[in-house]
């Protein structure tokens, strides 16, 4: 278990976090195909995933500490990251800012990463790379290798940073609890039944989209979240 402090905030990284990042980065695919570039792509994705999730949670933690005080700490675990706050007090407005700061930090990192593309490459090539970087998680995918033969590790890291921070940040804004979008809805919708009802509708829509895309992993995740919101909807009294 990795422990360190950043900006005065204690951070714990559990071993399962790295396994999840390896899986999402195509670790099983790399093992089955047994190509060296695939392993490097997975490692670069794991590094980008670590930086991205940490930046996301730092957005929550630093904003919560600044606006509400108290003690904050961060835990990276199998299902992503969590920012904790103890002893502080946040009103509804400041809690909304804290919730949105996570995806906001991720989108800011995405913008910086995309800007780096246009610094490194001419505009036409940067636009082409951006198109593919948003589609694939790493540059060692067979479709990427045929188009971009220059597969330097820094490009692979940049690829994963862009993919993770664009898509994961947008995913986190979907209004289904306990994603950030769902937590934001909790602050503006007083009725918990209505909040979870919104979550069920959003979750069902995401499941249909993921089914059409053939994403079994995403379908399972959003199926679980939708079921969670359904159970909470039944238990809510108002």
Query: How many other C-beta atoms are found inside a 10 Å radius of the C-beta of residue 65?
Result: 19
Report the alpha-carbon distance of residue 172 to residue 24 in Å, rounded: 16
Tell me the backbone φ, ψ of residue 4, rounded to 5 degrees.
Answer: -160, 175
Domain residue limits, the chain:
2-173, 176-238
- What confidence tens digit (pLDDT) does each residue in 90-126 have? 888 889 999 999 999 999 999 999 999 999 999 999 9
Can you give the pTM of this predicted structure?
Answer: 0.88
Specify which residues 83 forms β-bridges with: 74
Nearest to 181 by CA among 190, 191, 168: 168
Residue 5: φ, ψ to 5°: -125, 135
Count the alpha carbons within 13 Å of 218 in the hemisphere toward its beta carbon. Answer: 16
Q: Which residues pair with 2 in a beta bridge?
A: 13
Helix, strand, or coil here: 34? coil
pLDDT tens digit sequence for 140-159: 777 777 777 777 888 889 99
Q: Report the length, in residues, of the chain.
A: 238
**Helices 92-120 and 123-133, interaxial angle, to 10°?**
130
Residue bearing the bigger pLDDT, 237 or 48: 48
Q: Is the pLDDT of residue 218 over 90?
A: no
More confident residue, 225 or 149: 225
Q: Give the model's confidence band at 82: pLDDT under 50 very low, under 70 low, under 90 confident, else very high.
A: very high
* Ranges assigned E (strand) in the chain: 2-6, 9-13, 71-77, 80-86
* Phi, then psi, of 149 in degrees rounded to 5: -65, -25
């Amino acid at each position: 278990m990795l422990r360190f402090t950043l900006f005065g905030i204690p951070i714990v990284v559990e071993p399962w976090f790295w396994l999840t990042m390896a899986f999402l980065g195509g670790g099983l695919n790399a093992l089955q195909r047994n190509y060296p570039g695939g392993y490097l792509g997975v490692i670069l994705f794991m590094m980008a995933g670590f930086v991205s999730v940490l930046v996301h949670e730092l957005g929550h933690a630093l904003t919560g500490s600044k606006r509400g005080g108290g003690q904050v700490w961060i835990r990276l675990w199998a299902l992503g990251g969590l920012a904790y706050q103890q002893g502080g007090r946040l009103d509804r407005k400041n809690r909304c800012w804290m919730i949105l700061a996570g995806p906001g930090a991720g989108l800011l990192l995405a913008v910086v990463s995309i800007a780096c593309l246009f610094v490194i490459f001419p505009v036409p090539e940067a636009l082409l790379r951006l198109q593919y970087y948003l589609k694939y998680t790493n540059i060692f995918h067979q479709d990427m290798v045929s188009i971009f033969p220059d597969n330097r590790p820094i490009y692979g890291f940049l690829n994963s940073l862009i993919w993770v921070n664009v898509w994961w940040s947008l995913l986190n804004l979907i209004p289904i609890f306990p994603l950030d979008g769902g937590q934001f809805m909790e602050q503006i919708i007083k009725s918990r039944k209505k909040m979870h009802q919104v979550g069920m509708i959003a979750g069902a829509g995401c499941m249909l989209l993921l089914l059409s895309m053939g994403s079994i992993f995403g379908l399972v995740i959003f199926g679980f979240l939708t079921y969670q919101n359904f159970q909470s909807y039944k238990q809510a009294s108002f």
